[in-house]
A and B are shown apart, each in its own frame.
Chain A
Amino acid sequence: MPEPHPNSDAPPTVITNGVIKQFGRFAALRGVTAEFAAGRLYVILGDNGAGKTTLLRTIAGLAQPTRGSISVLGAKEIKTVCSQIGYMAHPSLLYDEMSGMENLRYFAELYGIHDDAANSTCREAITSVKLDPELNRPVGQYSQGMRQRMSLARALLNDPKLLLLDEPFSNVDFHSAQEMAGLLAQMRDHEKTLLVVTHQPGLLESVADEFIWMNSGKIVDRTSKLRAGSQ
């Protein structure tokens, strides 16, 4: 079992209660009940179509549960706490025609960060993912890995308490992925809650608090260690 976290008495950051999500006749989530404690890093694993992305989208408020309820940071209405959530999706969520800095400046405005504060926040976010804030190329001309890191920088802009990351390491080279994993561990140490969907759990093996296994829209297991052969 992992070491008891100093913040283990705090109320859970996310509580899902019997969450069912249907798309027409297809049920992507089939009664997901779980709690995700504050200041912990969770790795969500499972085959394609297991419901991992749908779970993240539902917690982010991008999809409404067909049945069941979700509470995020103590609120049932996710829109009221969305300024404290960072969301990184599989697509980059960035405008290809603008530079990384221009993208982040725009998204900073959406979170009420303006002028000089926006400049320094964006620079900080870009530097934290090991990219150059002065890089003036449009994001569309970035490599896949750079785009992925810029996408992570966008998710970090609002200094979120809850970070939902969908495949943050895809197309990122091993060295950069390790650096990103280190950054995620640092964020966990700063009392942030992280839910990370990945097919490369080995990168987070040493830093994750819990591994959550999904299959056919359900959580089938929660373990503190990565199972042999799942890397």
Chain B
Amino acid sequence: MTLLAVLRATLAKDLRLEWRSKDAINAMLFFSLLVVVIFSFAFEPTAEESRRIAGGLVWVAFLFAASVVLNQTWARELHNHVLDAYRVSPAPANSLFLAKAFGNFMFMIVLEALMTPLFIAFYRLRAVGPAWELLPIAILGTWALVVNGTFFAAISLRTRSREVMLPLLLFPISVPALLGMVNATTAVLTGEESSRFWITLLVAYDVVFTIACLLLFETILEAE
């Protein structure tokens, strides 16, 4: 049995379940929408100010939205103890982890695609720097959030207050990635400096944490 076959089956199953319930995507959308609207009314920034603060606003909104989907993705496996059926099977642990991470990545990318036009409209955003760089920043930043988030959501799975536990574990460890995302986005929007250093930081962060999560996930899955 290959890692890829189980990964594909698990990812397809998760997408099917989300398509039927739309629990995670709806919760993320409403949450992000609220952040956009509330902050735009609270600050009423000029175009210049918007370029300076938008990077932080966008990524903080996505970080909080991510914690919604991350909890949701594992909650499904707890209901009816379905995770035990996976644990007693010969399927590789990392197939489950990667399927969850890819699923969360896809949900986040959909959310970002839907929210970006709203951010642009509400904050009158226009990139002064090379706008194409926002694409790799979005991909690397989103993966940084979901790879750790999926892992820490699995750790907090069996704790009583997992909704509280996940942000407590995830947010501190995401600080370097968040710095990278925010500064890279701000650099592109303002055009005042190069985003290269921050993009490199994101690449390094993604590689290190993806490998660490893959190495440790089986231990987490088998923990009682």
A112/B224 contact (C-beta < 8 A), A95-B80, A98-B16 known: no
Interchain CB contact (< 8 A) of B5 among A82, A114, A158 = A114
* Distance A64 CA – B87 CA, assembled complex (angstroms): 13
Q: Is A144 an interface residue (CB 8 A)?
A: no
Beta-carbon contacts of B87-99 to A below 8 Å, as 1s and 0s? 1111100000000
CB neighbours (8 Å) of B5 from chain A are 109, 112, 114
Tell me if A110 and B86 are in contact (CB < 8 A): yes
Q: How far is the CA of A82 from the CA of B224 in the complex (A)?
A: 17
With a cutoff of 8 Å between Cβ atoms, the chain B residues found around residue A102 in the complex are: 16
A window 166-217: CB within 8 A of B: none
CA distance A125 to B90 in the complex (A): 19
Closest to B1 in A: A112
Choose among A85, A96, A97 the residue that contacts B88 (Cβ–Cβ < 8 A). A85
User: Does B6 reach chain A (CB closer than 8 Å)?
Assistant: yes
Q: Are B84 and A110 in contact (CB under 8 A)?
A: no
Least distance between B148 CB and chain A CB atoms (Å) = 26
Contact A63 B224 (CB under 8 A): yes
Chain B proximity mask over A77-112: 1 for CB below 8 Å, otherwise 0: 001001101010101111111100010001101111
Number of A-B contacts (CB under 8 A): 75
Smallest CB separation, B3 vs chain A (Å): 12
**Minimum CB–CB distance for A163 against chain B, Å:** 12
| A111 and B1 contact, CB distance less than 8 A | yes
Contact B17 A98 (CB under 8 A): yes
A112, closest chain B residue (CB): B1
Do B76 and A91 touch across chains, with their CB atoms under 8 A apart?
no
Residue A75 at the chain B interface, CB threshold 8 Å: no
**Complex CA distance for A91 and B82, rounded to whole angstroms:** 8
Q: Which residues of B contact A98 (CB under 8 A)?
A: 13, 16-17
**Residue A60 lies at the interface, judged by CB distance under 8 Å to chain B:** yes
Contact of A62 among B6, B20, B84, B91 (CB under 8 A): B84
Tell me if B85 is interfacial: C-beta within 8 Å of chain A: yes
Min C-beta distance of A116 to chain B, whole Å: 15
Q: Is the interface of B mostly helix, strand, loop or mixed?
A: helix
Asked if B9 is at the interface (CB within 8 A of a chain A CB), the reply is yes
Chain B nearest CB from A171 CB (Å) reads 14
Interface pair A109/B82, CB less than 8 Å apart = no
What CA separation (Å) do A85 and B88 show in the bound complex?
8
Task: Report how far A106 CA is from B5 CA in the complex, Å.
Answer: 11
A93 touches B89 (CB 8 A): no
A111 touches B84 (CB 8 A): no
Q: Is the CB of B84 within 8 A of A89?
A: yes
Q: How long is the Cα–Cα vector from A92 to B1 in the complex, in angstroms?
A: 25
A95/B84 contact (C-beta < 8 A), A83-B90, A109-B6 known: no
Which of A61, A93, A106 meets B80, CB within 8 Å? A93
CB-defined interface of B161-185 with A at 8 Å, one 1/0 digit per residue? 0000000000000000000000000
A154 sits at the interface (CB 8 A):
yes
> How distant is the Cα of A97 from the Cα of B21 in the complex, in angstroms?
8
- Ordered nearest first, which 9 A-B pairs have the shortest CB separation? A112-B1, A109-B9, A110-B89, A93-B85, A110-B91, A91-B81, A83-B90, A87-B88, A91-B80
User: Can you pick out 22 interface pairs between chain A and chain B where the beta carbons lie within 8 Å of each other?
Assistant: A62-B224, A63-B224, A82-B89, A87-B85, A87-B88, A91-B84, A92-B80, A94-B82, A94-B85, A95-B17, A95-B76, A95-B80, A95-B82, A98-B17, A107-B89, A109-B6, A109-B9, A109-B91, A110-B91, A112-B1, A114-B5, A154-B85
